[in-house]
Structure 1
């Protein structure tokens, strides 16, 4: 491949990021309905506010989607998987932009953490549980840490499981540096889709989030990552340090697993198996390649 071809291919993620900001800017969403949208999970047994946690699974599970995701599409694989194993499962929409339907997780991450706080309160009130467990993909595995650290979430949460979380931000293989090469690019993305620049490695939001340590007392943390992640890079930046932390590289469980950033959250049953282990560590079973069909 010619050098210029490699460069052009490498610029595509940045171009996609800028185009997403342009396409989702409130001023350009001429045909979208005004205000945040509400989506209801299909009849698969989750978001059932009559569900009462069992003795075997005493905490409700709240699923937190990633950037450009929503409460349904991100969880068409994992939510039924957990419901089938006896969990009360709930999912929220957060980070909505005015006039932008379906694609959420784009607003300021700090504000999204406040939405999560209110949603967990709603779930606990409905189920009668004292604590919840959180499972998030991408931004959804990082954003809850703001809630835990600054909004009192540690008193309401037992465990946080992050699937390919943007724990320490991303460099997108170095391409985020180009935001400062193109005049006005960083400002434009920040103004129109602030969650994107909040997740760039070294952002003011992430600097504050990670000051003084990655974890807070009283919460267990699990990170499930893939070495083929091309969105949150380097992939080891997803891992957390601190007590009560378990970092899992999915290829250490099955070298044949080729999941990237999206697939590990949407469809990877090995990752789902690790989620189940993290939610019920007393009954954890080894994850192997055969877990894909279990």
Structure 2
């Protein structure tokens, strides 16, 4: 029995580690060692907004891939935005070993802040719009809420974000572990000391703990309202999300100022989409364009 329990706990910890190794990171706090900020890949700011589309769009991909995969993953969405006349700029931050948003979350949010400031100065605008997927929504929320970036953003469009009610079980499923007796989040809530143990034993995985409900980074983002005054929010989740679990609760932001939508409700006849494939879907691109014009 003890061995089974230990195995289950280890699996839960692994799942928690996998879950937030993709998201991103945070300022060194008492529950995490120093985490690298990671590198950035900035696009050339070579477009000009129009009267019809006055705000540049900053696209923040998720952590579900390497930088060598970004172009293929986002080709359809970025192409659709540009074809519709939007000044579209895809920014990648928190890059560690080629993986997006694998660095410290607050540091990644500051990278976003610096890029947006550069866009505003270069283009000569007061605000931008953000389209973020998965881990990209975490750094966006940190930027908007904690770093005070809301006055610089007109509209935040989130695709399968990771919000308050995630349990980490989806990442166990990805490892072949189904229906665990305890989820990674439940484990860390029951045994808070495990956070420092894991961080000390595997510093490269410490970023995973920044999205545990016990962490200071998580609490800075999710204690109190997520949505910030002056910013419009549009959120698209899927019931088939295999990573942001339980779905769609993990991706739901039910607050004033937020337009919340479920993919299957909007497109009941469409083929299934998942946590990652939703961002490359034609229906999703159409929904994003509709949100931008509403």
Question: TM > 0.5 between the two?
Answer: yes
Q: Secondary structure at the match of 2:58?
A: strand
Equivalent in the alignment of 1:161 = 157
Change (3 A) 1:201 1:272: farther
CA distance in 2, matches of 1:190, 1:120: 33
Change (3 A) 1:84 1:189: farther
Equivalent in the alignment of 2:25 = none
The within-5 A match list for 1:43-58 is 47-58=43-54
Change (3 A) 1:196 1:126: same
Equivalent in the alignment of 2:93 = 94
Q: Secondary structure at the match of 2:241?
A: coil
More RCO (CA 8 Å, sep 6+):
2
Q: Which runs of 5+ in 2 are unaligned?
A: 22-36, 170-182
Equivalent in the alignment of 1:44 = none
For 1:136, which of 132, 149, 158 is the aligned residue?
Answer: 132
Q: Is the aligned partner of 1:198 residue 2:210?
A: yes
Conserved in 2, the CA contact under 8 Å of 1:113 and 1:146? yes
The within-5 A match list for 1:1-294 is 14=14, 17=17, 39=41, 47-69=43-65, 70=67, 72-97=71-96, 100=97, 102-168=98-164, 170-173=166-169, 174-177=183-186, 186-187=198-199, 191-234=203-246, 235-256=248-269, 257-265=271-279, 267-281=280-294
Decide which moves more: 150-159 or 113-122: 150-159
CA distance in 2, matches of 1:245, 1:120: 22
Name segments (4+ residues, structure 1) moved above 6 Å: 181-185
CA RMSD of aligned residues (A): 3.2
Give 1:58 deviation, angstroms: 0.7
CA displacement 1:88-137 (0-9 Å, x = unmatched): 1112121123xx1x212011211111111001111112221211000101
Q: Which runs of 5+ in 1 are unaligned?
A: 22-34, 41-46, 282-294
Aligned length: 252
Q: Secondary structure at the match of 1:136?
A: strand
CA displacement 1:20-56 (0-9 Å, x = unmatched): 96xxxxxxxxxxxxx966657xxxxxx4523110111
Change (3 A) 1:116 1:245: same
Q: Secondary structure at the match of 2:276?
A: helix
CA distance in 2, matches of 1:59, 1:135: 12
Change (3 A) 1:181 1:219: closer
CA distance in 2, matches of 1:185, 1:138: 27
